[in-house]
């Protein structure tokens, strides 16, 4: 198959292209001057050259591929009758609410079964489900290289590590609203506090907990730009804002408790507010530094962004693929794909996460055995070469 790959410097692009080529596909990349999601003469002109290219009278490329969904790419592919494959790793990804998502040329894959069901219920039949993937070959070789640097042994740098965004910045939209009526804010804050204590069950989707009336009241005070280009469910947007606030709170609170008891480090984006007892080591690049950190941390934490309702976060796969040991909050699809205590460890409350961290810091052999089994499970099920045949099936 001949694939035209839209390269926008996404962190996992090189891994995916490598797997495509190992599967025997011809892959060419195209870069575009993308400013927003509108079709511009420059973008269409560049793509037209590729999409109309022929060899022996037959169209050269079989499909256009991108990580995440771009409405303007779909529009252009629709015009030139070219299949467009999009594998979405962002969540939420409100661009999927674009009217272009209905285009017949689309083959869109999302990693959250609940999101897939929701979009299908709206009549968007071009959206299907696939978990996210990893490059097993690159990471397998890198693990051997990392261990060879220390005579085949894993020399740990950290006891407890969390690598991820704290969102205590401009992306924490809830805290930017300072005019909510006191009674409404008091109730919403109470629900947020309760939700922090519960893994794997989303209170914000429960109409009895947060009603449409509550959402309508919040919409009066939270300004959301309405461009008319999207069939957006603004109730869902508000619920996601509340979910992100829960994520902000629980990541900080869990890390603060970890920092009180264990040697705890954080790798995150610039500008994060300090957490007492936690050493912030800044940003780690995805390709080289991150696997080393995961492999050389005794315990890696996964605290899922709450807008991911059921899917397996890429962080979990990245940790396990690097041979790292992970303790994760409970999530439906994590429990479907992995066995608790064999491939990874699942915590069911924040307190459970603290207790299991303490236990596994003291049981190294058990921890290492789980990490080894977990890495093999991810290589067997989530390698790009295992998932791409279905993704590229147009």
235-293 pLDDT, tens digit per residue, is 999 999 999 999 999 999 999 999 999 999 999 999 899 999 999 999 999 999 999 99
pLDDT the model gives residue 362: 97
> Does the domain spanning 136-384 belong to CATH 3.40.50.300?
no
User: CA-CA distance, 203 to 194, in Å (whole number)?
Assistant: 9
What is the overall mean pLDDT for the chain?
Answer: 95
pLDDT at 223: 75
In this structure, what token pair is assigned to residue 77?
Answer: 């592919």
Domain 2-130 has CATH 3.40.50: yes
Q: Which of 53, 109, 121 is nearest to 82 (CA)?
A: 53
Strand-by-strand arrangement of the 106-110 sheet = 26-30, 2-6, 63-67, 84-88, 106-110, 127-129
Report the b/e string of 372-389 with b at 16+ CB within 10 A: ebbbebbbebbbbebbbe
Sign of CA pseudo-dihedral 286, 287, 289, 295:
positive
Dig out the tokens for 350 from the structure.
């924040």
Q: What pLDDT shows up at residue 299?
A: 98
| Ranges of the chain with pLDDT below 70 | 170-171, 227-228
Give the model's pLDDT for residue 227: 67
Residue in 303, 309, 311 with CA at minimum distance from that of residue 110: 311
> Which pLDDT score is estimated for 179?
85
Q: Is 76 exposed, middle or buried (0-12, 13-18, 19+ CB in 10 A)?
A: buried
Cβ atoms within 10 Å of 329's Cβ, excluding its own:
24
What pLDDT was estimated at residue 154? 85
Query: Where do the domains of the chain lie?
Result: 2-130, 136-384
Yes or no: say if 233 and 119 are a contact pair by the CB < 8 Å rule: no
Q: Confirm if 146 and 233 have CB atoms less than 8 A apart.
A: no
Same fold? 2-130, 136-384:
yes
């Amino acid at each position: 198959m001949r694939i035209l790959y839209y390269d926008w410097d996404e962190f996992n692009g090189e891994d995916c292209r490598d797997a495509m080529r190992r599967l025997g596909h011809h892959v060419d990349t195209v870069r575009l001057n993308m400013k927003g999601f509108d079709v511009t003469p420059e973008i269409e002109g560049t793509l037209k050259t590729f999409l109309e290219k022929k060899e022996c009278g037959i169209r050269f490329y079989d499909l256009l591929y991108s990580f995440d969904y771009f409405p303007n790419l779909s529009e252009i592919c629709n015009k030139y009758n070219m299949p467009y494959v999009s594998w979405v790793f962002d969540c939420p990804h409100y661009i999927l609410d674009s009217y272009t998502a209905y285009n017949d040329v689309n083959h869109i894959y999302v990693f959250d079964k609940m999101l897939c069901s929701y979009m299908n219920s709206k009549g968007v039949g071009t959206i299907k489900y696939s978990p996210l993937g990893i490059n097993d070959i690159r990471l397998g070789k890198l693990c051997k290289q990392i261990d060879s640097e220390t005579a085949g042994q894993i020399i740990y740098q950290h006891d407890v590590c969390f690598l991820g965004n704290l969102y205590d910045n401009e992306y924490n939209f809830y805290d930017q609203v300072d005019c909510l009526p006191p009674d409404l804010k008091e109730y919403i804050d109470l629900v947020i506090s309760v939700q922090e204590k519960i893994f794997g069950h989303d209170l914000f989707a429960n109409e009895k907990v947060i009603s449409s009336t509550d959402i309508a009241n919040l919409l009066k005070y939270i300004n959301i730009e309405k461009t008319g280009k999207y069939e957006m469910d603004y109730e869902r947007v508000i619920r996601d804002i509340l979910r992100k606030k829960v994520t902000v709170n629980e990541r900080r609170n869990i890390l603060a408790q970890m920092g009180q008891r264990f040697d705890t480090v954080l790798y995150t984006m610039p500008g994060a507010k300090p957490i007492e007892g936690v050493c912030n080591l800044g940003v780690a690049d995805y390709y080289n530094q991150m696997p080393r950190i995961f492999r050389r941390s005794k315990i890696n934490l996964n605290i899922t962004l709450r807008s991911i309702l059921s899917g397996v976060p890429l962080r979990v796969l990245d940790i396990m693929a690097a041979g790292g040991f992970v303790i994760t909050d409970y999530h439906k699809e994590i429990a479907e794909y992995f066995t608790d205590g064999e491939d990874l460890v699942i915590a069911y409350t924040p307190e459970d996460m603290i207790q299991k961290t303490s236990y596994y810091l003291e049981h190294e052999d058990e921890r290492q055995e789980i990490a080894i089994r977990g890495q093999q499970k991810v290589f067997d099920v989530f390698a790009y070469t295992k998932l791409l045949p279905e993704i590229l099936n147009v």
